[in-house]
């Protein structure tokens, strides 16, 4: 039975129909991503499900006992509350249940035949299982660490930044684990490591989840289903983002075939309308109505098909490696530069050269200095030590404050300050302003709107569109995908790949970085910056392997110390391996070799799109995680037995 079931839901604001007779159901343990352009009704659907607003019509079946929690874009907190207390305030019910369970368990030690207590203990145990609440304190500590909140544990929330406050709110919600969790852009203000932790938690602990996100890797990694809202209609797709694209391509092919059939049918009906008096008889009015309805469909279909085709082409389009410009022109030269803010090292002894055609993504944890190096390139701050040189060229800058925009100007005045209705792009094309802005999903009636009345996402689209009209040699961008929907990000990617200058950008969006960047500046903390030329997702996988090996090495060393101490205390008792231990020791090398082979197979499959689409990305990831865990335990056991044998020999 579905936890949430919506039938024929309609919602309208003024004359605009946002949702039109949509049907949607959410099953337990489903993780459903909502995608679509801004303003299409994604947030409206979430608010209907969270009961914040009511639909105009339709039926909703949502159990009143169902606990539905939503992560707001701007969370609210009690005045004067600190980070720790805010998170724990979400866990009062769970802690009370755990305390009650512990109390009943003690009572059952003496009153072990009390059926009422046994029933209550069983019910509470099921409740704690469902919410994964047996080790709450350990989980609180881990979430504080992973979300980089440990240093602020007892700090007043009012003193934190907006992004930090949102992480506090998200931490409380995922620890609380409501029956249904609603998340609106959960990866905003999270660095890549935080996102990976969130992905692990949401999948491992089987959350029931409905979420809006522009992060396509995040969608691909955790979504069991995708729904797309467009023109008031809702389409459902199975799997993550890559499966969505595959099914959308099939849908496009079906639409094209259907259109061809409609055209053939219309031609036959047109012949009937033009020949014979019977077309004008009363009994054939229905057939005439059908003809005109068919005609409207045939007229509207090409636009819909072209729109869908364009979106898919934008997603699938490969890198544009044009060589029109001189790639060897030096833009920036950094020699052994250092930068400190107070006692914090942001950059230590970093040397690099940036050329005309370079495309560089700056990645790393929050607070590591990524935005700071952009300010060095923009000559807004100076390095403490070393040499920074900038060539003679023009820079275009995009940031979250939208410096290019004036809220009091209309869109038309913003693009045509000297009058007229034409814009000249950086590649020399001369376009009508509406024809240009149509590429950024703006309708004609927006031209006379003031910038100040636009939403955050719309302002970002205008800022990007304006930036691409500037004749610049280098684009510098700070989190360009924030507040953008997926169709707009596809447009941004298309423009950036055709841009003939250098591009330097900060982003946490792994999919975007993989698609655009040819080089990485990886901020590793404490001022260390590493240059890399491998794809970002590949770098993260390598980093995970290294971290796993480091962890394994620590565990082995810890075990060695324990074994050494034990051996020192019990040297007289060590005689020989037991029969079972000897048998296990002999079999372990083969077991480990087989595991290594299978792990390599899985990793190879996860790098091949055809393979992981056939077998399922989530399924592959779960098997790989499980096998890695088994592999670590077997290696650890083998080393433990080997150490034991060495001690016997000695």
- The predicted-structure confidence for 265-276, as pLDDT tens digits, reads as follows 666 655 555 544
pLDDT over 60 at 50, yes or no? yes
Report helix, strand or coil for 166: helix
List Cβ neighbours of 642 (8 Å cut-off, separation of 6 or more).
585
Residue 136 to residues 133, 147, 175: CA-CA distances in angstroms? 5, 16, 8
When pLDDT is cut at 50, 70 and 90, the band that residue 321 belongs to is very low
When pLDDT is cut at 50, 70 and 90, the band that residue 291 belongs to is low
Count of other CB atoms within 10 angstroms of residue 404: 19
When pLDDT is cut at 50, 70 and 90, the band that residue 312 belongs to is low
Average confidence (pLDDT) over 181-191: 89
- pLDDT of 559 reads 57
- pLDDT of 320 reads 33
pLDDT over 60 at 326, yes or no? no
Biggest CA–CA distance in the chain, Å, is: 113
Phi, then psi, of 157 in degrees rounded to 5: -60, -30
- pLDDT of 586 reads 84
Phi, then psi, of 385 in degrees rounded to 5: -155, 150
DSSP symbol at 445: G
Q: What is the SS3 assignment for 361-390?
A: EEECCCCCCHHHHHHHHCCCCCCCEEEEEE
- pLDDT of 107 reads 87
- pLDDT of 6 reads 95
Is the domain 330-407+438-540 a CATH 3.40.50.300 member?
yes
Query: Which of 410, 407, 412 lies closest to 423, judged by CA?
Result: 412
Count of other CB atoms within 10 angstroms of residue 620: 18
- pLDDT of 261 reads 66
pLDDT tens across 213-236, in order?
A: 988 889 999 999 999 998 899 999
pLDDT over 50 at 318, yes or no? no
Percent of the chain whose pLDDT exceeds 70: 82
User: ∠ CA(183), CA(188), CA(191), 5° rounding?
Assistant: 120
Q: How far apart are CA 203 and CA 216, in angstroms?
A: 16
The structure's pTM equals: 0.64
Q: For residues 528 and 348, is the Cβ–Cβ distance under 8 A?
A: yes
- pLDDT of 367 reads 82
> What H or E segment, with its residue span, contains residue 4?
strand 4-13
List Cβ neighbours of 270 (8 Å cut-off, separation of 6 or more).
291
User: Domains of the chain: which residue ranges?
Assistant: 1-67+178-194+204-239, 79-177, 245-316, 330-407+438-540, 579-649
Average confidence (pLDDT) over 365-382: 90
CATH number belonging to the domain at 79-177, selected among 3.40.390.10, 3.40.50.300, 3.40.30.120, 3.40.1640.10? 3.40.50.300
pLDDT over 70 at 567, yes or no? no
Based on its alpha-carbon atoms, the radius of gyration of the chain, rounded to whole angstroms, reads: 30
Q: How far apart are CA 284 and CA 592, in angstroms?
A: 78
pLDDT-wise least confident of 17-21, 470-474, 615-619: 615-619
Please list, residue by residue across 496-513, b when 16 or more beta carbons sit within 10 angstroms of its beta carbon and e when fewer do. Answer: bbebebbbbbbbbbbbbb
pLDDT over 80 at 557, yes or no? no
Query: Which of 414, 404, 398 lies closest to 474, judged by CA?
Result: 398
What's the half-sphere exposure (Cβ side, CA atoms, 13 Å) at 86?
Answer: 29
- pLDDT of 246 reads 84
Counting DSSP H helices and E strands in the chain, the numbers are: 20, 20
Pairing between β-strand 233-238 and β-strand 395-398 as defined by DSSP bridges: unpaired
Report helix, strand or coil for 505: strand
Average confidence (pLDDT) over 450-471: 87
Top CATH class of 1-67+178-194+204-239 equals: alpha beta
- pLDDT of 260 reads 66
When pLDDT is cut at 50, 70 and 90, the band that residue 49 belongs to is very high
- pLDDT of 8 reads 95
What's the half-sphere exposure (Cβ side, CA atoms, 13 Å) at 399?
Answer: 11
| C-alpha 144: how far from chain center | 20
> What H or E segment, with its residue span, contains residue 398?
strand 395-398
Asked whether this chain's domains 1-67+178-194+204-239 and 79-177 adopt the same fold, the reply is yes
pLDDT over 50 at 323, yes or no? no
Using the Cα atoms of residue 495, residue 497, residue 498 and residue 504 in order, give the sign of their dihedral.
positive
- pLDDT of 55 reads 94
- pLDDT of 573 reads 45
pLDDT tens across 234-258, in order?
A: 999 999 998 898 888 888 777 777 6
Percent of the chain whose pLDDT exceeds 90: 27
In a 10 Å sphere around its CB, with 0-12 CB exposed, 13-18 middle and 19+ buried, how is residue 164 labelled? buried
Q: How far apart are CA 427 and CA 325, in angstroms?
A: 12
- pLDDT of 316 reads 47
pLDDT tens across 569-587, in order?
A: 554 444 566 778 888 888 8
Query: Which of 179, 202, 227 lies closest to 63, judged by CA?
Result: 179
Pairing between β-strand 385-390 and β-strand 180-184 as defined by DSSP bridges: unpaired
pLDDT-wise least confident of 126-135, 202-211, 406-415, 496-505: 126-135
pLDDT over 80 at 288, yes or no? no
Kindly report the average pLDDT of the chain as a whole number: 82
When pLDDT is cut at 50, 70 and 90, the band that residue 328 belongs to is very low
pLDDT over 80 at 93, yes or no? yes
């Amino acid at each position: 039975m579905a936890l949430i079931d919506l039938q024929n839901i309609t919602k309208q604001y003024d004359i605009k129909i946002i949702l039109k007779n949509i049907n949607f159901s959410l099953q337990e343990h489903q993780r459903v991503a909502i995608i679509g352009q801004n303003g299409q009704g994604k947030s409206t659907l979430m608010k209907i499900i969270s009961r914040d607003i009511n639909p105009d019509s339709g039926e909703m079946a949502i159990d009143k006992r169902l606990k539905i929690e939503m992560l707001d874009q701007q969370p609210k907190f009690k005045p004067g509350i600190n980070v720790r207390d805010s998170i724990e305030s979400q866990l009062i019910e769970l802690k009370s249940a755990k305390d009650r369970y512990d109390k009943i368990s003690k009572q059952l030690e003496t009153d072990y035949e009390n059926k009422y207590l046994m029933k209550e203990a069983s019910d509470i145990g099921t409740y704690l299982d469902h919410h994964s609440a047996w080790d709450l304190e350990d989980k609180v500590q881990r979430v504080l660490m992973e979300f980089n909140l440990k240093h602020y544990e007892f700090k007043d929330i009012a003193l934190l930044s907006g992004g930090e406050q949102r992480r506090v709110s998200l931490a409380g919600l995922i620890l609380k684990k409501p029956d249904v969790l609603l998340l609106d852009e959960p990866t905003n203000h999270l660095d890549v490591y935080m996102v990976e932790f969130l992905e692990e938690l949401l999948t491992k602990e089987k959350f029931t989840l409905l979420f809006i996100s522009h992060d396509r890797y995040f969608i691909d990694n955790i979504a069991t289903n995708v729904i797309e809202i467009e023109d008031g209609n809702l389409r459902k797709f199975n799997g993550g983002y890559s499966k969505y694209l595959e099914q959308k391509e099939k849908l496009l092919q079906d639409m094209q075939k259907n259109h061809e059939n409609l055209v053939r049918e219309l031609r036959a009906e047109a012949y009937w309308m033009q020949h014979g008096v019977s077309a004008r008889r009363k009994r054939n009015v229905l057939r005439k109505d059908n003809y005109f309805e068919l005609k409207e469909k045939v007229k509207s279909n090409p636009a819909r098909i072209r729109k869908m085709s364009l979106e898919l082409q934008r997603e699938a389009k490969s890198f544009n490696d044009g060589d029109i410009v001189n790639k060897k022109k030096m833009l920036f030269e950094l020699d052994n530069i250092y930068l400190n803010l107070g006692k914090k090292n942001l950059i230590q002894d970093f040397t690099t050269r940036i050329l005309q055609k370079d495309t560089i993504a700056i990645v790393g944890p929050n607070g590591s200095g990524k935005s700071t190096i952009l300010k060095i390139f923009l000559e807004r701050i100076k390095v403490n030590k070393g040499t920074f040189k900038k060539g003679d060229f023009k820079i275009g800058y995009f940031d979250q404050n939208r410096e290019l925009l004036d809220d009091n100007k209309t869109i038309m005045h913003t693009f045509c300050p000297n009058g007229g209705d034409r814009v000249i792009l950086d590649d020399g094309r001369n376009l009508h302003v509406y024809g240009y802005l149509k590429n950024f999903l703006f309708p004609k009636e927006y031209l006379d709107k003031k910038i100040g009345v636009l939403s955050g996402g719309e302002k970002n689209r205008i800022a990007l569109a304006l930036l691409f009209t500037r004749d610049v040699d280098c684009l510098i961008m700070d989190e360009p995908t924030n507040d953008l929907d997926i169709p707009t990000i596809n447009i941004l990617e298309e423009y950036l790949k055709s841009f003939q200058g250098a591009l330097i950008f900060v982003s946490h969006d792994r999919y975007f970085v993989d698609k655009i960047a040819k080089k990485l500046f990886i901020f590793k903390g404490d001022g260390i910056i590493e240059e890399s030329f491998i794809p970002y997702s590949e770098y993260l996988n390598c980093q995970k392997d290294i971290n796993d090996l480091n962890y394994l090495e620590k565990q082995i060393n810890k075990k060695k110390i324990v074994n050494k101490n034990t051996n020192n205390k019990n040297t007289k008792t060590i005689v020989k391996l037991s029969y079972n231990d000897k048998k296990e020791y002999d079999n372990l090398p083969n077991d480990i070799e087989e595991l290594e082979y299978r792990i390599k197979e899985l990793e190879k499959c996860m790098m091949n799109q055809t393979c992981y689409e056939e077998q399922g990305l989530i399924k592959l990831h779960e098997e790989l995680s499980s096998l890695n865990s088994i592999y670590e335990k077997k290696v650890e056991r083998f080393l433990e037995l080997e150490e034991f044998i060495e001690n016997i020999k000695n």
